[in-house]
Structure 1
Amino acid sequence: MSYASRSGLSFSQRELLDLAIAWAGLSVAFALLLTREPGTGGIDLAGLPRMAALSLVTVGVAFLLHELAHKVVAVRFGQVAAFRADYRMLFLAIMSALIGFLFAAPGAVYHRGRLTSRQNGLIALAGPLTNHALAALFLPLWLAPDLVGAPALVGEIGQLGVWINVFLAAFNLLPYGPLDGNSVKDWSVTVFAIVFVPSLLAALYVIFFVGMR
């Protein structure tokens, strides 16, 4: 069975299940990474449920909209497109988070049909650009506690939302293997450089000068 939206997008039951499992699995992986205790390397089990909830509305949204952006543009170009979770990579993401690093590749949108290099590049570019847009939307939440006295939780959601979206944009633009960067670079080295360089610099700044939490 498949479900169609008013935009013309359709989702099979399998695709919806894969999206839900990848959303939850990636959120748990990031929660495990972010609740590691400095020095001991153990997991703060008391803080894990709270971080998992925060990850669902930041990491989960970042991942979900990234993949949906690929699908929307692919369908716009006449493709048959669907997300498929990679359960081995999801398992790897969770296991790697337990030892202090994370390789986040829980699945991808696969499409079939004839495409030009430009169309394929634009499909790939849609995901990282969506992450940049989300980072801009999360930024006011991050600043809200200092600017308007919003609860600290709002700022925490905003900070994690900015961090994860900047990270995902830069990671997916790496010109390696099946990542988006390869398709963008194959289409246009100029466009790739214009998008990748600031994405990488923003990610490095957030990681090394702002911190993950």
Structure 2
Amino acid sequence: MSKYHFSIEEVKHIALATIALAFAFSLILNSDAIFGSFFIESYKLSYFTNALIAVGLAFILHELAHKFVAQKKGLWAEFRAWPMGLVMAVALAVFTRGGFVFAAPGATMISGKRSPLGYSLSHINLKDMGVIGISGPVVNVILTAIALPFAAMGFQLAIVTAQVNAWLAIFNMIPFAMLDGAKVWQWSKPLWMGFFALCVGMFAITLMV
């Protein structure tokens, strides 16, 4: 069997998290139009579909990067949605009137290498965790860079894609709790500082287009 594989449960969790995050981003990206009047009447399906395309690309590829890098190292890796994270993603977007997205509706769970009895919880060294951790934000930075030239030409979907990817990179690089940034910080603080500065710079550029 290929070392790169998915379970049905994982696919369900990815789909649920993607939909929740897309809805949250649709509120942020269209906050003036949505919260300027009665919410239900002003919300348009196009807001969600544009966000779903951008978030689907950004979020799924982000998590796949974690998964495939971990599996390449012989580790077990599957995405699991976090119920509280799903609620917070949507609730904070609504309660802040489109001011903030909690971009952690779940995470790729990782455990040790396969033993005759199954997957163990053996120690995973800091470098491996750091490399796995930074792989997701690296994908988001690359996607931001690809989208920016088209965003500068005024393509709305490219603008949304650039902003979503840049925000996912910044948020996930915060060195706190289960976020990717905590793993990178523990592995290499200089690398974390340099890459986080790059993420902030990319996000600033997306706000100018």
Q: Is the 8 A contact 1:32 1:43 kept in 2?
A: no
Q: Is the 8 A contact 1:23 1:56 kept in 2?
A: yes
TM norm structure 1: 0.84
Structure 1: stretches of 5+ with no match in the other structure: 146-154
Q: Is the 8 A contact 2:144 2:202 kept in 1?
A: no
Shift of 1:140: 3.5
Q: Report the residue type matching 2:190 in the other structure.
A: T
Aligned residues: 195
Cα gap change, 1:195 to 1:46, in 2 (>3 Å): same
Q: Is the 8 A contact 1:121 1:183 kept in 2?
A: yes
TM norm structure 2: 0.85
Q: Report the residue type matching 2:136 in the other structure.
A: G
Answer with 40-49 or 191-200: which moved more: 40-49
Shift of 1:203: 2.0
Q: Is the 8 A contact 2:29 2:160 kept in 1?
A: no
Structure 2: stretches of 5+ with no match in the other structure: 113-122
Partner of 2:156: 156
Partner of 1:106: 105
- 2-structure distance, mates of 1:196, 1:137: 19
Cα gap change, 1:37 to 1:144, in 2 (>3 Å): closer
RMSD: 2.0
Residue 115 of structure 1 aligns to a residue whose secondary structure is coil
Partner of 2:93: 97
Q: 1:117 aligns with which of 105, 110, 126?
A: 126
Q: Is the 8 A contact 1:37 1:44 kept in 2?
A: no
Residue 39 of structure 2 aligns to a residue whose secondary structure is coil
Shift of 1:67: 0.6
Partner of 2:151: 142
- 2-structure distance, mates of 1:42, 1:187: 48
Identity among equivalent positions (%) equals 33
Partner of 1:129: 138
